[in-house]
Amino acid sequence: MSELISIIVPVYKVEAYLPRCVDSILAQTYKNLDIILVDDGSPDNSGKICDAYAEKDSRITVIHQANGGLSDARNAGIAIAKGGYLTFLDSDDWIPAEYIAYLYNLLKETDSAISLCNFLKTTTEDLPVVTEPEMVTVMKNDAILAKYTDLGDDFHPQLVMACGKLYEASLFKTIRFPVGRLHEDEFTTYKLFHFAPQTVISKKPLYYYWQREDSIMGEAGFRLQNKLDYMDALVERAAFFHEVDRPELSDRTYKSLFSEALSVNLELDARKETEPKITVRGILKKARNALKRTGRSKLAFLYNTYLSYERPIAWAYRTYKKLK
């Protein structure tokens, strides 16, 4: 008897895409599945579609709840998941028939706690034929976290995203997604990699990521709340790495936070929006104080210098950009 795998699908305003998603799950070659559809107070017919599928397949459980956001829906699914392994699938995305079997076999063959694949961003169901080599890499948690915190790594988005992965369910014993936050994966997946002794990565694109303008993260341009939540996630991540004795990763995260805050403030200056900068300063002060408490004087000095001389530093930077 194969091991039970839970698939958690948050559902909200996706009646046009939901059948494609669920049909792709039901078509999996790996059959021992615990399929959890979480209707997160969807105002369209998505909830009814979920119920209709549950009537046809006993492996499907439907949760109907008041709208609490993506994290709340995922957490509700985690709470009732029965599988020894679990994975997340967004309800506008879909997967090929071999997806679960492939990730499961990777995980078992390499004795890893997490397996993950590449994703394919698309606006069409006519997918290109992939000719790239498979490229499978097994990494201990030190190596995977070094890769995770390298924002320039070409696989960084795939590492951060909660979807496209198969996890040992025990990793979620104390870990949940942050309710009410954007960039929820930025708050979460690094913890899973920390507690997973080993991860196996495949470059094979087996997660089909549907790009639509009305999705949570699909809106183009500058969105302040996105930026603020992302910076808060970096603050939490830096503190976590310090607590678990990974000082290099903590310092690298604080540097990423500083760069992001500088970029956000420059954009706010260009938009002549001064009030949000108070919130950004608050995030920077929180980081500076944490750096002082933990004896990292060089980074604390960097933060303190910027907080003390923000205007002339911003002016010098803008002047430099114009000269270039």
243-286, pLDDT tens digit by residue? 999 999 999 999 999 999 999 999 999 899 999 999 999 999 99
Return the axis-axis angle of helices 247-271 and 310-323, rounded to nearest 10°. 80
* Rounded CA separation 251/291 (Å): 9
Determine, yes or no, domain membership for 274: yes
Determine, yes or no, domain membership for 216: no
Determine, yes or no, domain membership for 219: no
Strands 60-65 and 33-40: parallel
Confidence of residue 1 (pLDDT cuts 50, 70, 90): low
- State how many domains the chain has: 2
The pLDDT value given to residue 222: 77
The pLDDT value given to residue 215: 55
Please indicate, yes or no, whether residues 319 and 170 belong to a single structural domain of this protein.
no
* Rounded CA separation 83/73 (Å): 17
The torsion angles phi and psi of 209, rounded to 5 degrees, stand at: -95, 105
The answer to whether the beta carbons of residues 314 and 270 sit under 8 Å apart is: no
* Rounded CA separation 215/211 (Å): 8
Taking residues 16-38, report their average pLDDT.
Answer: 98
Is pTM, for the whole model, over 0.85? Answer: yes
* Rounded CA separation 64/99 (Å): 27
Please indicate, yes or no, whether residues 252 and 137 belong to a single structural domain of this protein.
no
Please indicate, yes or no, whether residues 158 and 48 belong to a single structural domain of this protein.
yes
Query: C-alpha 65: how far from its chain's center?
Result: 23
Determine, yes or no, domain membership for 195: yes
* Rounded CA separation 81/138 (Å): 27
Amino acid at 29: T
Contacts 24+ apart (CB under 8 A), 312-315: 314/265, 314/266, 314/269
Q: In what order do the strands lie in the sheet with 85-88?
A: 60-65, 33-40, 5-11, 85-88, 165-168, 114-122, 198-210, 136-140
Please indicate, yes or no, whether residues 27 and 120 belong to a single structural domain of this protein.
yes
Q: Print the domain residue range for 232.
A: 224-323
Does the pLDDT at position 218 exceed 90? no
| DSSP state at residue 170 | G
Determine, yes or no, domain membership for 37: yes
Taking residues 143-162, report their average pLDDT.
Answer: 94
Please indicate, yes or no, whether residues 12 and 103 belong to a single structural domain of this protein.
yes
Please indicate, yes or no, whether residues 165 and 24 belong to a single structural domain of this protein.
yes
Please indicate, yes or no, whether residues 10 and 158 belong to a single structural domain of this protein.
yes
Please indicate, yes or no, whether residues 262 and 121 belong to a single structural domain of this protein.
no
The pLDDT value given to residue 42: 97
294 C-beta neighbours (distance < 10 Å), count: 16
- The radius of gyration of the chain from alpha carbons, rounded to an integer in Å, stands at 21
Q: Which of 210, 240, 264 is the last residue of a domain?
A: 210
Kindly report the CA angle at 71 between 120 and 177, in degrees rounded to 5? 95
* Rounded CA separation 98/27 (Å): 9
Taking residues 219-247, report their average pLDDT.
Answer: 91
Q: What is the pLDDT of residues 47-106, one digit of tens each?
A: 999 999 999 999 999 999 999 999 999 999 999 999 999 999 999 999 999 999 999 999
| DSSP state at residue 17 | T
Please indicate, yes or no, whether residues 119 and 262 belong to a single structural domain of this protein.
no
128 C-beta neighbours (distance < 10 Å), count: 9
The answer to whether the beta carbons of residues 212 and 124 sit under 8 Å apart is: no
Does the pLDDT at position 216 exceed 70? no
The pLDDT value given to residue 160: 97
199 C-beta neighbours (distance < 10 Å), count: 27
Does the pLDDT at position 305 exceed 60? yes
* Rounded CA separation 177/131 (Å): 35
The pLDDT value given to residue 214: 59
CATH number at residue 93: 3.90.550.10
Mean pLDDT, the chain, as a whole number?
A: 93
Kindly report the CA angle at 29 between 204 and 103, in degrees rounded to 5? 35
